[in-house]
Amino acid sequence: MTITNLTDTATLSNGVELPWFGLGVYKAEPGPEAEQAVVWALEAGYRSIDTAALYGNESDVGRAIRRSGVPRSEIFVTTKLWNDSHGFDKALQAFDDSLNRLEMDYVDLYLVHWPVGQPSDTPIYNETWQAMEAIYKSGRARAIGVSNFMVHHLQTLLPTVNVAPMVNQVEFHPWLQQPDLQAFCRAHQIQLEAWAPIMRGRALEVSELVKLGEKYGKNAVQVSLRWMLDKGIVTIPKSVKKERIKNNADVFDFELDPADIALIDSLDRGQRFGPNPNKFNF
């Protein structure tokens, strides 16, 4: 698999095409900041935008897409259901609310943001998933998935579903590689997608990535992002700076040597910069 263009796509289990590379807008300030970041990304050739009810900027994403002049059909839009909206009826209402804020008739991907609820025979996200399937079958979400689900969450969910999650979006970067989760998702045709792929900026401080950047004429962030693409992991780095949005996407003119991929693989230390899904206080 060779990914050579910003618009190259991964094929999900239902045949929907998800761009390998997109813009995340977590902590992009609602209002002009978030809107302008999306406009800049679309101008730079991005065709995937990732938002969430939690972020408070769905309306800005929708407005930016309309401003951009890029046809809606060419843009892959992801949003997510927040933790206070679990359960069948509440999930359906939350999805309607997200569509209203986006001012769209559909989204391309709708995710359960976190696996809330204590472990039991029927955790609340199983009920929520029934709503996700109803949304999917209505055609208002072209694909559905989960976020921050670990292997045991997926093992609880999968036996109950009629439509399996197509994506699992998790924290993933050189210091947190979750090999067991990678293998599980591959085995079940669930596309893994990385949030915090540049370690909230700390990739620039990882000496091994810096040295590899010198070898390839890139910076450490670009090396980290290319490594994920070479491993078949969708990535959505966040930035609100025009030049950084462009630079983050400047990763399609090189590939890492197998030995360099192995070197980055060896950096895994199980270190999170975001919440642990098993310990997150909902």
Q: What angle do CA 271, 276, 279 make, to 5 degrees?
A: 135
- Residue 270 three-state SS: coil
Cβ–Cβ < 8 Å for 193, 167 = yes
Give the active site residues: 55
Helix, strand, coil tally for the chain in percent (to 5): 45, 15, 40
Distance CA 188, CA 134 (A): 21
The two beta strands, 17-19 and 9-11, are: antiparallel
Alpha-carbon radius of gyration of the chain: 18
